[in-house]
Structure 1
C-alpha cells in the first residue's frame, strides 16, 4: 500500500493532485531498485585492487557521483589509477548490468505519465552518465522526461543543490515550484536548502537512513503504486 505522508515542517507537497508545476526525480533507488547492481560494481572495483569492500566508501561514492567519487577513491586509497580510467571502468560495468537488469519500480511510470498529463514538467537528475542510461532495454528515459541532467553536467555532487537547480533551470521552473523525489539524505537536504519541496522515497537499500530521511523530507513515499488515484 502506498503511503505519501507529510513529514518535516516547511513545504509539504501534495502528490496528487500535484501541488507543484515541475518534478525533479532521481533514478537509482528512487525510480529503480539498483543498489545491488551498484554494490556489485563496487565489489568488483575493490576486489580487482586487492582492497576489502568498504561500505562507507560505497555510500560516499553514490553521493559524490562518478568523477568526484573516483577522485576521492584515488586520494583515500592512494591508487595509481587515473580518475578518468576509474570513471570509464564504473560506466562499463554499470552499463553491462543496466542493459538487461534494470526496470522501473511498480507504479513509477504510471505516476510520471499522470503528472505529465496534468502539465507537470519532468526532469531526471542522476549521477549516472548518458551512456549508462541509454544502455537500458526496459526504460526509455527520453520518452518519460522533458530534461535529463547527469552528474557530469554540474561541478558538485548531490550534497550540493547544483544538479537540482540545473534541472529547474532547464525546465524553466523556479525552485519553489519544484518537487524533488530522492532516496538519499544529502540530496533531500540540499534540495530543501535550494527552496524546493522534497519527497523522500523509500528504497530497497538496507543502508538507507529511513528515520533521518523521513524527518528531513517534506513528504514521504513508501512506493509508487496508486499515487494518481
Structure 2
C-alpha cells in the first residue's frame, strides 16, 4: 500500500501497533522518533577534538545509554579531562541546541502515529537521556504538545540499562508497567523495559551504534519505519 506521501512500505508493521493493544506508550527520542546520530557525532568530534582526542569507535555506543551528567563523568574519567561535569554538560548543551534548532526533525510518520494514539485515548510519554533544553530548541516541534509527560535523563540519572526512566514515565502517566509499550532503538533499554514488565517495540535506526540483531532478539516487536503503520 502506498501512503499519501508516496512512501511504499517494504516491511509489514507488527500487529498490535494499530489499532493499539496498549493503554500507554513511552517513546525514546534520539534514533527512535528522530534521526540525530550524525548531530551527536559532530558534537563528539568537536568536543574531544578541541581537547586533542579522536573519537574512539566504542564511545558513541557507550554514551548512548547515559544521560548528560553520567556521560560527562564517564568522559572525564576515560580521557583524564580537567573539566567539571557542569562545564562539560553546558558545552554539550550549547552545541546540541545549535544543531537541533536548525537540523533535528522527527522521522516521517512518527508524529502522525503519536497523534493518532492520543486520539484513541492512549497516554503518551517521552523517556530520553537527552536534555530538555536541547529538545526545546527545535524549530517547528512543540514537544509539550506532543507528549502528555516528559522524563529526561537529568531527572532520572540512571543509565537505560536499568528501567528507572521507563518506570518513572509510567508512574507519571498513571499507568501500570503491563499497560505500557516502550519504543526504543537501544537494546539495553529494550531489555530493561521488558524486564520491568512492559511490552517493547524495537525501532530500526540509522544510528551506526545500533546492533540490529541485539534489538531484534530483545524486543517483542520490531518496526522498520513509522510509515509502515497504516492508520486506517
4+ residue runs over 4 A deviation: none
Counterpart pick for 2:204 among 191, 202, 205? 202
Q: How far did 1:142 drift?
A: 0.8
CA distance in 2, matches of 1:128, 1:120: 24
Q: After the TM superposition, which residues 21-32 of structure 1 pair with which residues of structure 2 at under 5 Å, given as runs?
A: 21-32=23-34
Q: Deviations over 1:120-168 (max 9, x none)?
A: 0000111111111110002211111000110011130111111100000
The aligned counterpart of 2:216 is 214
CA distance in 2, matches of 1:112, 1:226: 14
The aligned counterpart of 2:110 is 108
Coordinate RMSD, CA, aligned = 1.1
The answer on whether the counterparts of 1:29 and 1:203 sit within 8 Å (CA) in structure 2 is yes
CA distance in 2, matches of 1:52, 1:172: 45
Q: Which runs of 5+ in 1 are unaligned?
A: 6-12
TM-score, normalised on structure 2? Answer: 0.93
Q: How far did 1:226 drift?
A: 4.3
The answer on whether the counterparts of 1:202 and 1:210 sit within 8 Å (CA) in structure 2 is yes
CA distance in 2, matches of 1:151, 1:207: 19
The aligned counterpart of 2:123 is 121
The aligned counterpart of 2:145 is 143
Secondary structure of 1:156's match?
coil
The answer on whether the counterparts of 1:67 and 1:87 sit within 8 Å (CA) in structure 2 is yes
The answer on whether the counterparts of 2:60 and 2:209 sit within 8 Å (CA) in structure 1 is no
CA distance in 2, matches of 1:3, 1:39: 31
Q: How far did 1:207 drift?
A: 2.7
Q: After the TM superposition, which residues 149-168 of structure 1 pair with which residues of structure 2 at under 5 Å, given as runs?
A: 149-168=151-170
Q: After the TM superposition, which residues 8-157 of structure 1 pair with which residues of structure 2 at under 5 Å, given as runs?
A: 14-157=16-159
The answer on whether the counterparts of 2:181 and 2:198 sit within 8 Å (CA) in structure 1 is yes
CA distance in 2, matches of 1:213, 1:162: 19
CA distance in 2, matches of 1:220, 1:167: 22
The aligned counterpart of 2:5 is none
Q: How far did 1:179 drift?
A: 0.1
Secondary structure of 2:167's match?
helix
The answer on whether the counterparts of 2:25 and 2:125 sit within 8 Å (CA) in structure 1 is yes
The answer on whether the counterparts of 2:13 and 2:228 sit within 8 Å (CA) in structure 1 is no
Q: Which runs of 5+ in 2 are unaligned?
A: 1-8
TM-score, normalised on structure 1? Answer: 0.94
The answer on whether the counterparts of 1:124 and 1:149 sit within 8 Å (CA) in structure 2 is yes
The answer on whether the counterparts of 2:12 and 2:228 sit within 8 Å (CA) in structure 1 is no
